[in-house]
Amino acid sequence: MSDTPEPEPSPKPQPSGESADLTGTTAPGRGAAGPAPAADLQHLYQELAQTNVRLEEEAQRRTIALATAAHRLKTPLAIISGYIELLLSQKAGTLVERQIEILEDTQENCARLQRFIQDFLTYSALETGSVAIQAELGDLNACLAEVYELWLPRFQKKGVALYLTAGTRLDPFKFDSFKIEEVVSNLLDNSLKFTPGGGSVWLSAERHFWDRRGGHDIRAPIERRKLNSSTPNSVKVTVADTGPGIEPEFHQEIFQDFFRIPGASESSEGTGLGLAIARRLVQAHSGKIWVESEPGSGSRVSFLLPLEPPARESTGTS
C-alpha cells in the first residue's frame, strides 16, 4: 500500500457566463442575490428625499424660533442701554468714580449682547430667504469712511491702530450700502478680537480686474484678454491685521456657520456667525470672499464686488 497522497480533484468546469469561486462563496454581483431592483432604488431615493425635506423644515423652524427669541430681547435691552446712558450723563444725579466704572462695564456688555442678537437676526433672515439686496448707485469710499468712523473709538480703546487706506478714486456703482457696511463691520470686529493691543488693522479698497470667465462666456480667450485685461470690472475691499494668523486648513471653514477656530482664546467672544454672514451678503452681491493668512503673519480678508452684475443674473439663475 503506497503512502503517496492522492491528488485533489480539480474544480469542475463552470457553465458559460459564470466565474469560478474556489472559496465556496458567490462572486460579487452574481448568484442568487443579484443587483437591487430599480424599484427598490427608487423607493430608497424617495425616502432619502423626504427625510431631507423634514430636516430642512425642522432647521427652518428652529431658526425662526431663535429669531423670535432674539427679537423679543431687543426692546428690553434697548431700554436698559438707554437708562445706562442716562445715568452716565449724570443728569439723574452725580456719580462717584466706582459707579461710573460699573455702568461703563455694564454698557459694554449690553453692546456685546446687542451684537449677538443682531447676528442671530441677520443669520435667520438669510436662512429663511427674507433678506433682499437693495442695490443703489453709491460711493463705496464714503461707505467705508462711515464704517471707519464708527469703529475707530473701539480700536482706540483697545490700543489697536486702525487705518483707512485711500486708494484710487472709485466711480459710483450699484451696491447695497447697508449690507456692505455690515460686511465690513463684521471683518473689522473679527480683526479687533484677535489683534492684540499695539497691533494694527488696515481697511482699503481698490479697483480690480476679476477674471470671471466661465461656460456662459463664449468669447475666445484672446478676445477676452484684449477686452478685459486693462479694464477693472470689480472693487476689492481688504481688511488686513497683525493678529496671530490662521492655519491654512481653516481658510475655508472660518466662513461656515457657527465655526470657531479650535484653541481660540475664550476672551475672543462671538457667535461664530460674523464671517458666515459676511460671506452670504457678499455672495448676494454676486461677489466672492476669501482669506490669506499664515500663523504668526496676520490675516488679510478680501472680498470682491462686481461693478456690474454678471449677465446670468438677469436670467434669475445662480
Question: HSE-up of 94 (CA within 13 Å, CB side)?
Answer: 1
- Whether 208 contacts 234, CB under 8 Å: yes
In the numeric block, the cell 461656515 is attached to 256
For the entire predicted model, the pTM comes to: 0.67
Mean pLDDT of 247-271: 77
What's the confidence (pLDDT) of residue 229?
56
3-state class (DSSP) for residue 284: helix
Lowest mean pLDDT among 114-118, 200-204, 296-300: 114-118
Kindly give the residue spans of alpha helices, DSSP state H, lying in 16-129: 38-88, 97-127
Each residue's pLDDT tens digit, 134-148: 899 999 999 999 999
Fill in the amino acid letter for 125: A
Max intra-chain CA distance, the chain: 123
What are the grid coordinates assigned to 69, written together? 427669541
* Residue 281: band (very low, low, confident or very high) from pLDDT cuts 50, 70, 90: very high
User: How far is 125 from 64, CA to CA, in rounded Å?
Assistant: 9
What's the confidence (pLDDT) of residue 269?
63
* Residue 219: band (very low, low, confident or very high) from pLDDT cuts 50, 70, 90: very low
* Residue 316: band (very low, low, confident or very high) from pLDDT cuts 50, 70, 90: very low
Higher pLDDT, 7 or 122: 122
What's the confidence (pLDDT) of residue 285?
93
In sequence order, the β-bridge partners of residue 206 are 236
What's the confidence (pLDDT) of residue 142?
92
What's the confidence (pLDDT) of residue 167?
63
What's the confidence (pLDDT) of residue 218?
38
CA 68 vs. chain centroid, Å, equals 23
What's the confidence (pLDDT) of residue 163?
96
Mean pLDDT of 268-281: 82
In sequence order, the β-bridge partners of residue 200 are 161
| pLDDT for residue 38 is more than 60 | yes
| pLDDT for residue 29 is more than 70 | no
| pLDDT for residue 222 is more than 80 | no
| pLDDT for residue 213 is more than 90 | no
Percent of the chain with pLDDT over 70: 75
Closest CA to 273 of 260, 288, 292: 260
Each residue's pLDDT tens digit, 51-95: 888 887 777 677 677 767 776 777 888 889 899 999 999 988 899
User: How far is 126 from 186, CA to CA, in rounded Å?
Assistant: 15
What's the confidence (pLDDT) of residue 215?
42
Mean pLDDT of 232-243: 93
Angle, nearest 10°, between helix axes 177-194 and 140-158?
Answer: 30
- Whether 303 contacts 230, CB under 8 Å: no
Average pLDDT, the chain: 79
User: How far is 141 from 143, CA to CA, in rounded Å?
Assistant: 5
- Whether 184 contacts 203, CB under 8 Å: yes
Kindly give the residue spans of alpha helices, DSSP state H, lying in 128-168: 140-158
- Whether 214 contacts 177, CB under 8 Å: no
Each residue's pLDDT tens digit, 93-134: 899 999 999 999 998 888 888 888 877 788 777 877 777 888
| pLDDT for residue 45 is more than 50 | yes
Sequence-ordered strand ranges (E) for 147-277? 161-165, 173-175, 200-208, 234-241
